[in-house]
Amino acid sequence: MLAAARRGDFQILYFESLSRLARSYVISSSVITELVYGCRIRIISTSEGVDSARDGWQLMAMFRSWMHGEFLKQLREAVLRGQEDAVLNDNSVGDWRLGYRTDPIPGSETARQGRRPKPRMRIFVRDEHANWIRRVFRWFVLDGRSVLGIARELGRLGAPKDHRSKTAGWHTCAVVRVLRNQKYVGLWIWGKKTNVTDPTTGKIKQVECPPRRPRAVHPAPPRSAHRR
C-alpha cells in the first residue's frame, strides 16, 4: 500500500477504522504522516469520521489510534487471565507436545461465553506416542547413541512427530527439542516469556516476563501430565 502511494497510484485511501492500518499509535501516526504530507493522499476512516480534508483531523486520528492501542492491551490482559485460569485448573492452553493428547471436558462449554463456546481441554498421556519418547531418552542416556543416530533410527522406523511439525522425517534439531523439553521430566512451565511488539516496526519478539505478585492457589491433584 505504501509503495503504491509513493508511486502515486491512488489519491484517496479508505479505512473501515484506523485500527485496520495499525493498532500502535507510533506506527499509525508515522504512516499517516507519510501518506498525507509525503504522498498527498487523502485518508478517510468511514466509521470514525476521520477525514484528512477536514480541519482538526489530526487530533481525531491521534485519539482514535491511541484508543485502538489501549483496546489491544486490555484484550491481551483478558486473554492472559483466561489462560492463567486454565493453567491453574490443570487444563490445556495449547502447549501439549508429542506423547500427549488433549480431550474435551464434557459440559465445560456451558460456563463459557460466546455464540459457539468450545469446551475446555485437558492433557493426557498418549501411550502409543509416549513409547517413542521413552525410546529417545533410553537410546540417548542408556545406550549412548548420538543425536544424529537417533534421528536416523526414528526416520527408519516411521516414528510419529509433534503435531506442530511442518517437515517430513526426523532431523537432529527435532531430537534435541525432545531431549531438552522439560515437560518430559514433569515441569510444565507457563508464563515465563511473553510476546512484545516493537512499536516502531511492528515486529514481535519473545522476552522474559516481569516478576508477578504471587497468588495463593489450591494445589491441583496429582495427574499423569502434572503441570507446575
Residue spans in the chain of domains classed CATH 3.40.50.1390? 2-75
Which uninterrupted H or E stretch holds 49? none
DSSP H helices in 107-207? 127-137, 147-157, 172-180
- C-beta of residue 126 within 8 angstroms of C-beta of residue 100: yes
- C-beta of residue 159 within 8 angstroms of C-beta of residue 132: yes
Residue 212 has what pLDDT?
A: 60
pTM over 0.75: no
pLDDT band at 214 (very low <50, low <70, confident <90, very high): very low
Residue 199 has what pLDDT?
A: 64
- The pLDDT mean for the chain works out to 83
Residue spans in the chain of domains classed CATH 3.90.1750? 89-190
Residue 23 has what pLDDT?
A: 75
Q: What is the mean pLDDT of residues 80-94?
A: 83
Identify the architecture of domain 89-190 in CATH: Alpha-Beta Complex (3.90)
CATH of domain 2-75: 3.40.50.1390
29-38 long-range contacts (CB < 8 A, ≥24 apart) are 29/61, 29/62, 29/65, 31/2, 32/61, 32/65, 34/2, 34/5, 35/2, 35/5, 38/6
Q: What is the mean pLDDT of residues 204-222?
A: 59
pLDDT band at 208 (very low <50, low <70, confident <90, very high): confident
Q: Is the pLDDT of residue 34 over 60?
A: yes
